Chains A and B, each alone.
Chain A
Amino acid sequence: MDEREFDDFYVASFQRITGQVYAMIGNRDEAQECVQEAFVRAWAHRRKLDRAAHPEAWVRTTAYRLAVSRWRRTSRGRRPADRALGAATETAAPSETHVALVAALKQLPEAQRQALVLHHIADLPVQDVAREVGVPEGTIKARLSRGRAALAALLADEEGLSHA
């Protein structure tokens, strides 16, 4: 991948990948930073990227791992006062539906959320989700099934609360 190809790849996919990672982790600023860092690493390892069948998946996986790693570090060392700071850095979403969806996604187990985002937002077939996550297809199908049910239940609760 030469400079021009990399630049094209970067410009074309940055926003899309950031949106997907945002859906996975629920924090837009964090998603943007992690995707940025993943692209830096992509250029550092561009020969590896050349051989990757799905460069976008490579960047997305790296960004997600960075985000999870950051989250684990933060959650270990976080003091009560920091929680308020953390919440304040999340930009308010423009619509109630969007807020509810992101909030519901954040309540799902990590594996279910990742499967839902890759399949429904990144539009990957189950087979590709399984390859990217590194588990059998049956596992992804089960996670999707349970994730959809849980998401529906969470959104229904949210709706009930808002009506109440």
Chain B
Amino acid sequence: MPDPMDELENFTSPGLTMDPLPAAEVRRRGTRLRRRNTALAAAGGVLAVAVIATPFAVMADHTGSSEPQPAPSPSASWQQTIPADFPLAEGLPTPVDTTSTYASPVTDVCKGMAWDTAGTTDLRQATYTASEGGSTHTLALYSTERDAERTLLSLQAAAQACAVQTDGQDRTVELLTTGQDGESLTYANHYSDGGDLDAVRFVRAGNAILQATRYSIGVPAQDTADQVVQESATVVDSMCVFSAAGCDAPTNAVDPTPDGSPAVTTVPADFPLLDGLPTTAATKDFGRYGPKPEKGPLGVIGCTNDVSVAPSGTVERLGGGWTDPAEARVRQLMTFSSADEATTYLDMVSNETSCNPQDVGDGVTEIHSGAGSDLGLGDEALIAVTWYRHNGNPAPGFRITELVRVGNAVIVQTRTADGYNDPVTSAYLEQIIGESDQSLAGVVDAMCVFAATGC
């Protein structure tokens, strides 16, 4: 047998009957394809404008039950206008056209994916137009950080649902990774099976959301997304002006103890761990339990549903919760020897709960949504939500895991609800995340004993 590498390098196509179309015919077909694509893009643009005017929740679940909420009064603590010198066009090729209105630069693959900019207080869009496609940066400000968080969560949910719905089709959404934290979303709109796509990236900082896009053909989606990350890097860095901490905050915001004294690791005896939980009890076997010291740390369910993400190095643990026939809410307060270790644990949970949608059989798809939490809670926080779709439609049941760090302590709360019949729509997701934040507020306040600055 000859050397396989020699065979490879001398590979020819013997017997291949080359009967290619004449070049003129190839060009004619190419011109026809181009006209067709242009017509489709124009039709998609009209659709996108119509969709943008519709609140996301109404589009997503088609129930019409989620009436548009009036925009809350702008908070004085969040910037409501984009500074004139904000470098929105930085990173884009020139020339760039800048406007104060939003024109969707992409044709969404699924109905319900459009970015709803209706509730924004200010918006600016920078567009580089190439002969085919181009790149854009669109920055929008919301009244509060919470509004921006909800918007990003809705976008994440819609993209994930579309990815599941279009898997295997010519026009599909592909979720991508960019090595960012849970406050971003990156995906590709594949317009055909020929490699033409738009990479779309959303990044949130404070009450601001940036949408960065780039069109490509023949370039892998992940490469295009990486180019979007590069093009938008300066803009994302500059978005610190909209964050609660501002631009002077260290990037790894672990609060040092002001006098260098050792961190407090002992949980106070009267710590109100159950604050905010319901007080009802369906029977004597249900209702509140605890608080009580626990031997081991509370595990958090990761992507495969059978892996517990448990921290090492916890010093003290206090557990408790509330149960009901329909759901269970479990809490554990953990102290670490340093704020660094507590932060490391949050990072680990964030990684372990960033999961792709999974087909769990019988038409059921399990969807994992990461979301930033209300940064008014503690020094840092994260939420991971698991929910389901049955044959593409919202299905009942969810699991929501929230972690909040204050200094060297972390409160973990999981809420697992399988006993309700309500399908989990995007509006419902927003509601349960809001409830989770709200229920933890009292506990987080009491965690000030672990804060660098104390209570």
Contacts and interface: CB of A to CB of B under 8 A. Distances in A.
B76 interface: no
Interface residues of A, number: 61
A17 B196 CA distance: 20
Interface stretch (B27-35, B63-71, B77-85, B387-395): B27-35
A65 interface: yes
B15 A94 contact: yes
A19 B11 contact: yes
B194 A28 contact: no
A111 interface: no
B50 interface: no
A43 B12 contact: no
A44 B21 contact: no
A18 B222 contact: no
B193 interface: yes
Given A40-B26, A94-B14, A62 B8 contact: no
B14 A98 contact: yes
Given A44-B37, A47-B131, A22 B13 contact: yes
B170 A69 contact: yes
Interface string B171-198: 0000000000000000000000111100
Interface string B98-122: 0000000000000000000000000
Contacts of B237: none
Contact of A28 (B11, B16, B131): B16
A48 interface: yes
B23 A44 contact: no
A116 B8 contact: yes
A19 B16 contact: yes
Nearest to B170: A69
A1 B282 CA distance: 75
A155 interface: yes
B16 A32 contact: yes
Contacts, number: 137
What's the dominant secondary structure at chain B's contact region?
loop
B20 A36 contact: yes
A121 B26 contact: no
A49 to B, nearest CB: 9
B362 to A, nearest CB: 19
Interface in A83-122: 91-95, 97-98, 100-101, 104, 116-117, 120-121
A23 interface: yes
B194 A66 contact: yes
Interface string A21-41: 011000010001000111111
Nearest to B16: A28
A40 B30 contact: yes
A97 B1 CA distance: 8
Contacts of B196: 41, 45
B27 A6 contact: yes
B4 interface: yes
Interface string A149-164: 0011001101100000
Interface of A: 3, 6-7, 10-11, 14-15, 18-19, 22-23, 28, 32, 36-48, 52, 58, 61-62, 65-66, 69-70, 72-73, 76, 91-95, 97-98, 100-101, 104, 116-117, 120-121, 123, 133-134, 148, 151-152, 155-156, 158-159
Given A32-B18, A36-B20, A48-B133, 17 more contacts: A15-B13, A18-B16, A19-B11, A19-B12, A22-B16, A39-B30, A40-B30, A41-B33, A41-B194, A43-B27, A45-B34, A45-B217, A94-B14, A94-B15, A97-B1, A101-B8, A116-B8
